[in-house]
Structure 1
């Protein structure tokens, strides 16, 4: 069965006192003690150079559990980081509900946490700038139901701030486990970056396009311009849109697992 992403925003929400206590109590069980700069509070962040790691538990109200993130190192454009998690459904949740998307953030995510000038964003789609993302990671042997994906946010203007909803979202799935599947319906397929991808189209108040790699990988270097232009050629995206944010992380539906990033970098231009 394909799991669907719910119609919920990934905006930060206020964490209840109960959930804070749960995260604090369970944090050591989902991430090994001793990782540098570990954070287990929902929506807490760790700045790593021009990026930040976001413990984004946007779907936690549909689950029982906790998640931690940690930052290991930053050198120039390259960082390493990780996350550990344990999630089960509560009475309101199902296997189709995403509980979290712990991720690195470059640029816009309902505002700008790091100085915008350092990020190289936004990039106008029609300008055809290279947006090279390199990522090497490892997963625990039984990561549960989850995916590992890039997530791009797009706006109609180059001045997006905290109050501006995106017009489009592009997800690029590198790896999926436990039957996880994308929102929407299959639109077609495309060969990009040395791999075949199935394209899905959905809507959660803005358009969501998902490129799902047919074979899992734990290491990839991609030019994100290739993916935006694949949508432009299909008349699904306009060259007048702006890529405002680039995120990379793991959407967890359920299970206990861990993702460790050996190296991650984004270069613009």
Structure 2
């Protein structure tokens, strides 16, 4: 009997350890370096701390919580001080896309997202960021045109350029801002209040810009299709994206 008990006890302990471990949340990837990167299931996440040199102090880490072909769950935690009106980071999830697809050839860019910030002590946006360029091999850090869809403007932060009035797109009314970032023309659609659960089609925004702003959709290639948060100052704060999906057809 003693021999049997000695055999069973290690097995029971191992089973208990597996049972407890299975209850703990698992993360697929932790990203803390300036441009730490993950990809999987047709998506990519970048801990893109491109402006951290403008901060007097701060840090940011991003965590891939789960992923599948139908979408990704992730969160990012940050604190930034100094450089009040300088963006410190744009941590994002991106849909990996094939090169050489012009906006006019795309029938839809369906996407959905649910997100939440756990703190009001932030100056940041929560936004889609989409670049297009006439050169399908253009560097993906910029483009000829940039479309931003701000689902939230948190704190007294503002987009590039100036307001040119309201625009009704995708069944909602937005404040449209237009300006230049170097040689890239930027269109920013700003929600009047935070939209924490969004389903829509950014192709409709391009169609609006073609009709109202002369956007040349037949010569512009889609090169970047991203969603994330531009952090200015504040924190500690965590943006949790409980679901994100995107498709280009």
TM-score using structure 2 length:
0.83
2:145 counterpart of 1:168: yes
2:186 counterpart of 1:204: no
- Separation in structure 1 between the aligned mates of residue 150 and residue 65 of structure 2, nearest angstrom: 24
- Separation in structure 2 between the aligned mates of residue 259 and residue 123 of structure 1, nearest angstrom: 31
Among 72, 79, 83, the residue aligned to 2:76: 83
Alignment check: 8 A CA contact 1:168 1:207 kept:
yes
Q: 1:159 to 1:238 in 2, by over 3 A?
A: same
Q: 1:264 to 1:143 in 2, by over 3 A?
A: farther
- Separation in structure 1 between the aligned mates of residue 241 and residue 164 of structure 2, nearest angstrom: 31
Q: How many residues align?
A: 221
Render the CA deviation track for 1:102-132: whole Å, top value 9, x for unaligned: 101224xxxxxxxxxxx34553122242001
How much does 1:53 deviate?
Answer: 0.8
Aligned to 1:40: 32
Structure 1 SS opposite 2:110: strand
Alignment check: 8 A CA contact 1:48 1:79 kept:
no
User: Which has more radius of gyration?
Assistant: 2
Among 142, 147, 157, the residue aligned to 2:125: 147
Among 124, 137, 156, the residue aligned to 1:179: 156
2:224 counterpart of 1:245: yes
Structure 1 SS opposite 2:207: helix
How much does 1:133 deviate?
Answer: 1.2
Q: CA RMSD in A?
A: 1.8
2:93 counterpart of 1:104: yes
Moved over 2 A (4+): 33-36, 119-123, 157-162
- Separation in structure 1 between the aligned mates of residue 50 and residue 106 of structure 2, nearest angstrom: 32
Matches within 5 A, 1:1-269: 35-63=27-55, 64-89=57-82, 93=83, 95-107=84-96, 119-161=97-139, 165-205=142-182, 206-239=184-217, 240-256=219-235, 257-269=237-249
Alignment check: 8 A CA contact 1:59 1:98 kept:
yes
- Separation in structure 2 between the aligned mates of residue 251 and residue 34 of structure 1, nearest angstrom: 26
- Give 5+ residue unaligned stretches, structure 2: 1-24
Render the CA deviation track for 1:189-236: whole Å, top value 9, x for unaligned: 211223211111111121111010112111101101101111111234
Q: 1:143 to 1:130 in 2, by over 3 A?
A: farther
Alignment check: 8 A CA contact 1:187 1:200 kept:
yes
How much does 1:158 deviate?
Answer: 2.6
- Separation in structure 2 between the aligned mates of residue 85 and residue 146 of structure 1, nearest angstrom: 11
Structure 2 SS opposite 1:246: strand
Aligned to 1:112: none
- Separation in structure 2 between the aligned mates of residue 74 and residue 102 of structure 1, nearest angstrom: 17
How much does 1:72 deviate?
Answer: 0.9
- Give 5+ residue unaligned stretches, structure 1: 1-32, 108-118
Aligned to 2:19: none
Aligned to 2:9: none
Alignment check: 8 A CA contact 2:111 2:200 kept:
yes
